[in-house]
Amino acid sequence: MSDPAFDTKAEAEMSDLADRLEAASPVLEVDFDAGNLTIELPDGGQYLLNKHYIHRQIWLSSPRSGAHHFELEGALWRSTRGEQTLRALLAAELSQALGARIDLG
């Protein structure tokens, strides 16, 4: 995948996640700027997602489970360590942190 194609797909994924997160919970502070998505929890925990061009991956830093890398597989961003998707991991962790179901599609 070329750099422009990767950039377009990763940007679209993070933009859609930002929109869904803002709609899902009023207690999350969501900021999507310059290709970085930051999600702040009420307890001060912070998630950071960004694009890693060299490996064509989205990298996630989680206050609960550490670092994760995701590669585009078909239409899904899948973990390089297993079958979990970016959306499934994020939804599960945020649901647990907030005590309410978060659906990221």
Q: What is the pTM of this model?
A: 0.93
Q: What is the pLDDT of residues 2-35, one digit of tens each?
A: 888 999 999 999 999 999 999 999 999 999 998 8
Q: pLDDT band at 96, cuts 50/70/90?
A: very high
Average pLDDT, the chain: 95
- The 3-state secondary structure of the chain reads CCHHHHHHHHHHHHHHHHHHHHHHCCCCEEEEECCEEEEECCCCCEEEEEEECCCCEEEEEECCCEEEEEEEECCEEEECCCCCEHHHHHHHHHHHHHCCCCCCC
24 located within any domain: yes
Domain count, the chain: 1
CATH number, domain of 86, equals 3.30.920.10
33 located within any domain: yes
29 located within any domain: yes
